[in-house]
A and B are shown apart, each in its own frame.
Chain A
Amino acid sequence: MYENPDGVMIGLEVHVQLNKLKTKVFCGCTTDYHNDPPNSHVCPVCLGLPGALPVINKKAVEAAIKVGLALNCKVEEHTQFYRKNYYYPDLPKGFQITQYDFPISSGGYIVIEGEDGEHRVGITRAHMEEDPGRLVHEGTIDKSKYTLIDYNRSGMALLEVVSDPDMRSPKEARRYLDKLRNILEYLDVFDGNLEGALRVDANISIMGGQRAEIKNISSHKGAERALLYEIVRQKNVLRRGGVVVLETRHFDEAREITLSMRSKEEAHDYRYFPEPDLVPLKISGWAPAIKETLPELPDARRMRFVEQYGIKDDQAKSLTGELVWANYFEDFLKAYKDEYKEKLDPKLAVAWIEVLKGELNYRDLTVDAFKKEDMLSILELLVSKKITEDGAVDIIRTLLDKGGSPDEIVAEKGLLKVEGDIVSTAVEEAIKENPQAVADYKAGKEKALNSLVGAVMKKTKGRADARAAREVLLGKLG
């Protein structure tokens, strides 16, 4: 049972860009603008030109429903768009089309690994809205002499996922974000690697006091840092006998602190009212068909991996925590069977995928940096006992750092495993040269055997199989 000593309550509002859709939410402009010049993918609708009208992108509604279902939400009978009125240069109509009453889905939950085991975080609602344009400054916003506006982003479909205030620590908040992102990737509605794909507003209070809302945090790590800072700040306010006030704060990522933006008195009155240009959408009939298309989600896949492949739960968790690795694992097993007409032990596969992952992470590389065929060859060399585990690691590192092919590297470095007479000779020499270790072993010190194995490996330049060397040693020592 987690005590939550500071009475921390955290709720998150996550803006998810449905950037895998082909077109924006209310017009036909492409969502594929990231490599193009500013303001090159705009039209009367997403520029808010006088007289232009929005038309809902049905695919965006479907994607939103899909997310709602995956988050265990209830999908409403009908959904309605509203106008949120405020002025800002990135908002070409002077209002944002969003949802208010009748959001597309509500009342769901996500299960995360909490401070004290599995922890359920409620989802208040998930509603659709349009993304504003993007403001670009020279240097920092407060020092820049001008602001440039790029409306390519204007009108991108966003889904705002609002959680209940169920998280009790910044760590839980981060895990919630990781899990949400994980689920979104599985749903194929979202590419988290694109700029601005996921933005977070965090609400936090301690000891039952007023909450602060921290706006526009752009990373999971940033959210954790902002919340950690905010707990310290609020505790300091209380310690000095003050009162935490309801306010909106800004997270300065460079300095990792939060700064006050506006108090409750200055809070906006958004004057919500139903968008007259979009009729209420009856979506009650959509959900069943969309439910059919829901893929296997991370938790289910993790359980299946343990059951079907007999791998450990934490290995399954690590694999399914990133869609790309979960897919890699299953594809790899299949490809191995196709290539070598023989089943690969999933436990062996997962162990070596973890090694590969570690080497890639160390070099800040993604899975694309390593050819799957090379990995297949390496596993085959291991399975057929042609190379040692040390040799396999050497091949992976060499491929990443210098390139080439596994066979070339094996030949060049002489990594083919040695067996038989060479190992026997090395064992005999090792026994002769280490009488003390032999005596220790015979006196019952089991550990002395390890130094003898080490000596054999040294003599064979690592090409002997350690386990085989050990057996030969045991035989000779009687």
Chain B
Amino acid sequence: MATINELKERIHAGSSEEIVAEYLERIGGSKLNAFITVAKENARKCAKEIDSEGHDGSLAGIPVAIKDNISTKGILTTCASKILTGYVPPYDAHVIERLKDAGAVIIGKTNMDEFAMGTSTETSFYGPTRNPWDLDRVPGGSSGGSAAAVAGGEAPLALGSDTGGSVRCPASFCGVVGLKPTYGVISRYGLISYANSLEQIGPFATTVRDIAMLFDVIAGYDARDSTSVDKDVNYSSALKNDVSGLKIGVPEEYFGEGTDENVNKAVWNAIQKLEDLGATRIEVKMPHTKYALSAYYIIAMSEASSNLARFDGMRYGLRAEDSDWHSTFSQVRAAGFGDEVKRRILLGTYALSAGYHDKYYLKALKVRTLIKQDFELAFKDADVLIAPTMPYPAFRLGEKIDDPLSLYLADVDTVPINLAGVPSISVPCGFSHGLPIGMQVIGKHFDEATILRTAYTFEENTDFHTQQPEGL
């Protein structure tokens, strides 16, 4: 699969249009259902302009696939929900403006769990996305379309969003690289909120270098997001093939019961590999990890119950028959939201209700503080933490979808990172029965440079990332 630098060479020769055509053709013949909307005309037009007029942006002419919960001016944006039927945003998200400024070509909008609520991309109104490594398996979620598109060669780069693992999980299941940046590093302006206090937009690519190049484009301060942080960093320059002296913390809580044997083995091998390359390993304790999952779901659902209140059919999207406003709102929401979304809105509403607010929501916030403290303590000794991204490789389509609780449990290793707001990158580190395994390298707040360097060094000294699914 082509990297940015390989594509750039061809684009310099004036063939962005040709490259876009190749990707469009692959999408057209795909069985993955990775895209909800393929922006054919837009992509061709942009590529043509770049070929004829030239562009000095760092991603000039490179196609990028965008998760369908990121607002794109003039391009349908659905959140994989029926309720946003026909919604064409009048404005671009901050990251889209950045991509356009860098000359990137928006090739389409990718499939996802409805409103990013899920771990398998099965709750999409537009049908599930399939895993390129095994079409009977899920790509992970909620950014399953973006990960599958990159793994399946349908886009060299993609954006997803990570609220509780939604970039890292599908990166792990699809055998690509995915980054969840520190909270505040990428503007959320234009990201359709699921749980605002937890989520970040994150990049997908096949290599750590490409992740860094894409990250360089989309990261940075934006006055339109009050949680955006003003830090000037060049991530690409942080990529060095060197981990000597790096202290890797290994939290045993992440290798616990329920973690697949092969996953455990692959991640430990990876840690050993980094030790061989000069890193040292230390044990760290993160005692509150076991409470993370319940705290995460209470906070995420509470915020979601409020965030999704705006979808009432009055101004955009699905519309019900005109009646009094109360019935119209109810009808639109009953018809427009899928079961998982309704479940989370109901649970979140309950958790915030008078009489339960302190018991659930406030308690969850307290747990969140404890989880943050776990990380602060661990990072007193360690430079990075390494753990499995997911407790197991991709599961079968339909295997867990009727059992919400077991799906929620799959997020056990990813959600603490969002609660703490720290960055984490998932990179391929092995295979189990032909399915990719991902490990996550977790860093201190705003220390993306170190996790990128660690992941890069690992990648330079292994060949997991070069392996590709067959028969697509």
A residues touching B (Cβ–Cβ < 8 Å)? 44, 47-56, 83, 85, 87-89, 92-95, 147, 149, 269, 271, 273, 276-279
Contact = CB atoms under 8 A, between A and B. Distances in A.
A53 B225 contact: yes
B226 A95 contact: no
Contacts of A87: 309, 312, 326, 329
A88 B312 CA distance: 9
Contacts of A95: 306, 309
Given A93-B310, A273-B302, A49 B316 contact: yes
Interface stretch (B35-43, B87-95, B371-379, B409-417): B87-95
B306 A94 contact: yes
B325 interface: yes
Looking at chain B, what size class is its interface with the partner chain?
35 or more
9 contacts: A49-B90, A49-B316, A50-B71, A89-B314, A95-B306, A149-B314, A277-B193, A277-B226, A277-B227
A55 B310 CA distance: 18
B464 interface: no
Contacts of B349: 271
Contact of B226 (A44, A55, A273): A55
Given A271-B357, A273-B361, A276-B197, A49 B306 contact: no
Nearest to B71: A51
Interface string B179-191: 0000000001111
Contact of B196 (A49, A94, A277): A277
A94 B309 contact: yes
Interface in B423-469: none
B17 interface: no
A50 B89 contact: yes
A271 B224 contact: no
B151 interface: no
A148 to B, nearest CB: 12
A42 to B, nearest CB: 10
Contacts of A50: 71, 77, 79, 84, 87, 89, 192-193, 310-311
Interface in B178-230: 188-193, 195-197, 223-227
B303 interface: yes
Interface in B348-407: 349, 352-354, 357, 361
B70 interface: yes
Contacts of A47: 315
Nearest to A271: B352
A273 B329 contact: no
B71 A55 contact: no
B189 A53 contact: yes
Given A50-B79, A54-B226, A269 B310 contact: no
For the residues of B in contact with A, the DSSP-based class is: loop
B70 A51 contact: yes
B71 A85 contact: no
Interface string B146-162: 00000000000000000
A276 B226 CA distance: 10
Contacts of A276: 195-197, 227, 303
Contacts of A269: 353-354
Given A85-B306, A85-B352, A93-B309, A49 B226 contact: no
A279 B226 CA distance: 7
Given A50-B84, A52-B189, A94 B352 contact: no
B350 to A, nearest CB: 10
A318 B385 CA distance: 73
A87 B357 CA distance: 19
Contact of A48 (B196, B310, B326): B310
A269 B349 CA distance: 10
Contacts of A278: 226
Nearest to A86: B309
A271 B361 CA distance: 11
Contacts of B195: 276
Contacts of B90: 44, 49
Nearest to A56: B226
A271 B189 contact: no
Contacts of B357: 271, 273
B223 A55 contact: yes
B196 A273 contact: no
B329 A49 contact: no
Given A44-B90, A51-B70, A94-B310, 19 more contacts: A48-B315, A49-B71, A50-B193, A51-B93, A51-B192, A52-B190, A53-B225, A54-B226, A55-B226, A56-B226, A87-B329, A92-B314, A269-B353, A271-B352, A273-B303, A276-B196, A276-B303, A278-B226, A279-B227
Contact of B353 (A54, A94, A271, A277): A271
Most-contacted residue by chain A among B226, B311, B325 (CB, 10 A): B226
Nearest to B70: A51
Contact of A49 (B89, B188, B325, B326): B89
B408 to A, nearest CB: 21
